[in-house]
Chains A and B, each alone.
Chain A
Amino acid sequence: MRTVLFVIGIGLALPLGFSCGGNTGGGRVSFRASALGPPTATGTSLEFTNGVGYHVALTRAQLHIGSVYLNQTVPSSGSQATACILPGIYVAELLGSLDVNALSPSPQPFPVAGEANAIQARAGELWLTGGDVNTIDDSTVILSAAGTADRASVSYPFEASITIGRNRFIPSADPAFPSLNPICKQRIVSPIPIDLTPHSNGELRIRLDPRVWFAAVDFSTLPRVSVSPLLYRFTDSAQTSADINLYNGMRTTIGAYQFTWQ
Chain B
Amino acid sequence: MQLVEVVVQRQQEYTSRMNESPTVYGLSTGPRWRSPAIAVLCLLASFREARGQQSAPEPVTPPEVVQRVDAVYPPEAMAARQEGTVVLLVTVGADGSVTDVSVAQSGGEALDRAAIEALRQWKFTPARRGDQAISSRIRIPVLFALPPAGGVSAPPQTQPAPRPENKPPEPVAAPLAPAQPEIPGGEEAIDVTVRGRPRPVSRGSSDFQLDIGALATVPRQNASELLKLAPGILLTNEGGEAHAEQVFLRGFDAREGQDIEFTAGGVPINEAGNLHGNGYADTHFIIPELVASLRVLEGPFDPRQGNFAVAGSADYELGLAQRGITGKFTAGSYGTTRTLLLWGPSGASDGTFAGADIYKTNGYGQNRDGHRASMMAQYEGSSGAHTFRIGATAYTASFHAAGVLRDDDFQSGRVGFFDTYDPLQGEDTSRYSIWGALDSRYRTLLVRNQVFAIVRPMRLRENFTGFLLDPQQPQQNPHPQRGDLIDLEMMETTVGARGSARASTQFIGLPQEIEVGYFARGDFANGSQRRVEAATGHPYHLDTDLDSRLGNLGLYGDANLRATPWLALRGGLRGDLFTYDVLNKCAVQSVAHPSRTNPPDDQSCLSQQDFGAYREPVQRVSTVGSAFEPRGSLIVGPFWGVNGSVGYGRGVRSIDPIYITQDAKTPFASADSIEAGLDFNRRVLNYEFSARSTVFRTRVDKDLIFSETAGRNILGGATTRTGSANAVRLTGRFLDLAANFTYVKATFDDTGLLIPYIPDKVFRFDGVLFGNLPYVTIRPAGRPFRGSLSSGITYVSPRPLPQNERGNTIFTVDVNATLGWSFLEIGLACTNLFDARYRLGEYNFASDFHSQGFPTLVPVRHFTAGAPREFFFTVALNFGGEK
Contact = CB atoms under 8 A, between A and B. Distances in A.
Contacts of A84: 471-472
Nearest to A83: B471
Interface stretch (B270-278, B282-290, B626-634, B718-726): B718-726
Nearest to A66: B854
A101 B798 CA distance: 45
Interface of A is mostly: loop
A79 to B, nearest CB: 8
A200 B370 CA distance: 44
A219 B722 CA distance: 71
A7 B745 contact: no
A119 B752 CA distance: 18
A67 B854 contact: yes
Given A3-B641, A87-B468, A179 B474 contact: yes
Interface of A: 3-4, 7-8, 10-12, 14-15, 18-19, 22-28, 66-67, 69, 80-81, 83-88, 90-93, 95, 97, 115-118, 127, 131, 133-134, 172, 175-180, 182, 184
A127 B756 CA distance: 32
A178 B724 contact: no
Contacts of B743: 15, 18
Given A15-B743, A26-B804, A179-B477, A7 B693 contact: yes
A12 to B, nearest CB: 7
Contacts, number: 163
A11 B800 CA distance: 23
A16 B251 CA distance: 17
B854 A95 contact: yes
Given A85-B857, A180-B474, A184-B472, 9 more contacts: A24-B756, A25-B753, A26-B803, A69-B857, A80-B474, A81-B474, A115-B408, A177-B474, A179-B477
Interface stretch (B237-245, B498-506, B674-682): B674-682
A7 B472 CA distance: 62
A133 B725 CA distance: 53
A10 B694 CA distance: 9
Contact of B640 (A3, A26, A93): A3
B695 interface: yes
A125 to B, nearest CB: 10
B856 A176 contact: no
B802 A12 contact: no
Interface string B476-512: 1110110000000000000000000000000000000
B722 A90 contact: no
B678 A22 contact: no
Contacts of B408: 115
A7 B679 contact: yes
Contact of A87 (B477, B745, B802, B846): B846
B577 interface: no
7 contacts: A7-B680, A10-B678, A11-B725, A22-B747, A23-B753, A134-B472, A178-B478
Contacts of B471: 83-87
B745 A92 contact: no
A24 B724 contact: no
A213 B800 CA distance: 47
A14 to B, nearest CB: 5
Given A26-B804, A87-B468, A90-B846, A95 B726 contact: no
Q: Please give me the 10 A-B residue pairs with the lowest Cβ-Cβ distance, nearest first.
A: A11-B693, A83-B471, A11-B726, A15-B743, A90-B857, A67-B854, A27-B804, A177-B474, A28-B803, A23-B804
A8 B476 CA distance: 64
A179 B478 contact: yes
Interface string B696-727: 00000000000001000000000000111110
Given A22-B754, A176-B475, A177-B474, A4 B689 contact: yes
Contacts of B383: none
Given A3-B680, A15-B724, A134-B472, A88 B804 contact: no
Interface in B608-636: none
Interface in B490-542: none
A93 B857 contact: yes
B751 A25 contact: yes
Contacts of B468: 85, 87
A18 B858 contact: no
Contacts of B474: 80-81, 172, 177-180
A24 B754 contact: yes
A23 B692 CA distance: 30
Contacts of B745: 18-19, 22
Nearest to A86: B471
Interface string B4-16: 0000000000000
Contacts of A172: 474
Interface in B721-744: 722-726, 728, 741, 743
A118 B473 CA distance: 30
B84 interface: no
B858 A115 contact: yes
A99 B654 CA distance: 56
Contacts of B478: 178-179, 182
B753 A24 contact: yes
B837 to A, nearest CB: 22
B859 to A, nearest CB: 6
B854 A127 contact: yes
B595 interface: yes
Contact of A93 (B477, B693, B723, B856): B856
A84 B481 CA distance: 12
A26 B678 CA distance: 39
B844 to A, nearest CB: 7
A178 B473 CA distance: 9
B642 interface: yes
Contacts of A178: 474-478
Given A24-B802, A84-B471, A84-B472, A95 B852 contact: yes
A187 to B, nearest CB: 11
A28 B842 CA distance: 15
Nearest to B597: A176
A237 B576 CA distance: 70
B844 A14 contact: no
Contacts of A118: 803-804
A14 B754 contact: no
Contacts of A88: 709, 846
A27, A66, A85, A175: most-surrounded residue (chain B CB, <10 A): A85
A22 B693 contact: no
Contacts of A86: 471
A182 to B, nearest CB: 5
Given A3-B680, A95-B854, A115-B858, A179 B473 contact: yes
A152 B722 CA distance: 79
Given A25-B753, A84-B471, A116 B858 contact: yes
A82 to B, nearest CB: 8
Contacts of A7: 642, 678-680, 691-693
A127 B856 CA distance: 13
Contacts of A81: 474
Given A22-B745, A24-B756, A27-B803, A14 B472 contact: no
B640, B682, B689, B857: most-surrounded residue (chain A CB, <10 A): B857
A117 B859 contact: yes
B513 to A, nearest CB: 28
A15, A91, A178: most-surrounded residue (chain B CB, <10 A): A15
Nearest to B852: A95
A18 B596 contact: no
A119 B707 CA distance: 19
